[in-house]
């Protein structure tokens, strides 16, 4: 009878990940996400502290221990469906979990820290610059990922998505879209004087935002500097000759917030399937010559003609309010959560973008 008091707990538990079929060994005091990343599995994640919900997964079989209260970030339907956050969960038994965004053979690239030098700065909109950083050797990354930039004299690094697609060997010229933020340390530093030749540190790549393999139509939605990773994803898809129909909805406030049309037109002209780019302005004065779409991006999602919305994959990047509203509309239109991928830009600028 004393066996149950002195029986040792298992040192690890096997976790079977569906639909990929991967099996993971998770130590007793390890989270599922920690074990997955240690094993080289490209588990979806961004923050690792339970706020971004990118590592949201579904328990199919077994028992888990939650390290935090999931109800703060998951809704009641998700909780009833057995959803949990892998970064805040330890197994209490062998598990079977469902993580549909893990592909069978994603390439995992370890983050590295490189010395870089600003080689060019190009104005793209009235408040967004493309900053090109030359690094000491090629950095391998996937379009959609981001890097942390550390600038001398600024205490914390800042995260920026790559705005250019890499070659198969990586790239030593890295491009980022940096938006001027009122009171922003990095954008203020950048605009205070000529920064060509200035040195900084680049650490990356990070993140799991990338184009998933499928044959379904692609819906892209972006706002502000959220253009950067979407542009890079489309460039990389063009290189790999992806031939899926695309609709790209881009939200801005006024015409001065729009990128030059050639930025996307060049991709659209070479695309191997129908490609539509629709800029939408939310605060353009009524008496201007703008003849394009007006309103909120979310209002246009369900009005797309000749596009199989419910069968599409959606890629969203920009301010959180825009993304949250768009996801709600997509779900209502029949696009499942497993086919919606997003990257929320959560710096202080998103407050100004709430009406995109």
Does residue 45 have a pLDDT over 90? no
Q: Are 197 and 118 in contact (CB under 8 A)?
A: yes
- Neighbour-count burial of 9, counting CB atoms closer than 10 A to its CB (0-12 exposed, 13-18 middle, 19+ buried): exposed
Does residue 291 have a pLDDT over 50? yes
Does residue 351 have a pLDDT over 70? no
In whole angstroms, give the CA distance from residue 343 to residue 143.
Answer: 12
In whole angstroms, give the CA distance from residue 45 to residue 57.
Answer: 11
Question: Which helix (H) or strand (E) segment is 327 a member of?
Answer: helix 320-332
CATH 3.40.50.80 domain position(s) in the chain: 218-353
Reported pTM? 0.78
Does residue 154 have a pLDDT over 50? yes
In whole angstroms, give the CA distance from residue 262 to residue 268.
Answer: 10
* Calculated CA dihedral for residues 174, 179, 181, 187, nearest 10 degrees: 40
- Residue 240 pLDDT class (50, 70, 90 cuts): very high
pLDDT at 15: 96
Minimum mean pLDDT among 72-76, 230-234, 309-313: which range? 72-76
Average pLDDT, the chain: 88
pLDDT at 75: 77
Give the number of residues written for the chain.
Answer: 356
Rounded to an integer, the average pLDDT of 287-300 is 95
CATH 3.10.20.30 domain position(s) in the chain: 3-98
Does residue 114 have a pLDDT over 60? yes
pLDDT at 65: 95
In whole angstroms, give the CA distance from residue 190 to residue 179.
Answer: 10
What tokens were used for 119?
């080689």
C-alpha distances (whole Å) from 123 to each of 271, 278, 281, 289 are 26, 22, 20, 24
Q: Which residues pair with 123 in a beta bridge?
A: 129
- Residue 197 pLDDT class (50, 70, 90 cuts): very high
Percent of the chain with pLDDT over 70: 90
pLDDT per position as a tens digit, 54-96: 788 999 999 999 999 888 778 778 889 999 999 999 999 999 9
Percent of the chain with pLDDT over 90: 64
What tokens were used for 98?
């469902």
Does residue 19 have a pLDDT over 90? no
In whole angstroms, give the CA distance from residue 42 to residue 105.
Answer: 9
Decide which of 3.30.365.10, 3.50.50.60, 2.40.30.10, 3.20.20.70 is the CATH code for 112-206.
2.40.30.10
CA angle 40, 43, 45 (to 5 degrees): 125
DSSP string, 135-204: EEEEE---TT-EEEEE-TT-SS-EEEEB-S--BTTBEEEEEEEEE--TT-HHHHHHHHS--TT-EEEEEE
Does residue 356 have a pLDDT over 80? no
Does residue 353 have a pLDDT over 50? no
CATH 3.10.20.30 applies to domain 3-98:
yes
In whole angstroms, give the CA distance from residue 30 to residue 8.
Answer: 17
CATH 3.40.50.80 applies to domain 218-353:
yes
pLDDT at 108: 62
CATH 2.40.30.10 domain position(s) in the chain: 112-206
What tokens were used for 231?
């542009």
């Amino acid at each position: 009878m004393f066996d149950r008091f002195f029986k040792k707990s298992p040192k690890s538990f096997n976790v079977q990940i569906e639909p990929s079929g991967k099996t993971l060994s998770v130590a007793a005091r390890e989270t599922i996400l920690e074990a997955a990343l240690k094993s080289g599995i490209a588990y979806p994640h961004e923050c690792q502290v339970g706020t971004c919900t990118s590592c949201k997964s579904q328990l199919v079989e077994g028992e888990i221990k939650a390290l935090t209260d999931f109800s703060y970030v998951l809704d009641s339907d998700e909780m009833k469906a057995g959803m949990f956050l892998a970064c805040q969960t330890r197994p209490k038994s062998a598990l079977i979990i469902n993580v549909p965004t893990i592909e069978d053979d994603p390439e995992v690239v370890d983050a590295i820290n490189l010395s870089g030098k600003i080689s060019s700065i190009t104005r793209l909109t009235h408040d967004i610059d493309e900053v090109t950083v030359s690094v000491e050797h090629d950095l391998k990354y996937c379009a959609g990922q981001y890097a942390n930039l550390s600038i001398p004299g600024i205490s914390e690094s800042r995260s920026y998505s790559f705005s250019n697609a890499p070659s198969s060997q990586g790239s030593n010229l890295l491009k980022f879209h940096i938006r001027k933020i009122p009171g922003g340390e990095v954008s203020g530093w950048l605009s205070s004087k000529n920064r060509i030749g200035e040195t900084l540190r680049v650490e990356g790549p990070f993140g799991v935002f990338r184009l998933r393999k499928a044959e379904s139509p692609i819906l892209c939605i972006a706002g502000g500097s959220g253009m950067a990773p979407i542009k890079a994803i489309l460039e990389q898809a063009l290189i790999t000759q992806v031939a899926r129909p695309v609709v790209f909805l881009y939200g801005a406030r006024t015409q001065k917030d729009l990128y030059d049309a050639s930025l996307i037109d060049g991709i659209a002209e070479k695309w191997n399937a129908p490609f539509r780019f629709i800029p939408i302005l939310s605060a353009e004065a009524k008496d201007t010559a703008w003849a394009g779409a007006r309103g909120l991006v979310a209002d246009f999602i369900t009005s797309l003609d000749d596009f199989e919305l419910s069968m599409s994959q959606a890629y969203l990047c920009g301010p959180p309010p825009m993304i949250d509203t768009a996801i709600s509309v997509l779900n209502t239109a029949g696009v499942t959560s497993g086919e919606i991928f997003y990257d929320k830009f959560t710096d202080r600028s998103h407050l100004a973008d709430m009406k995109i």
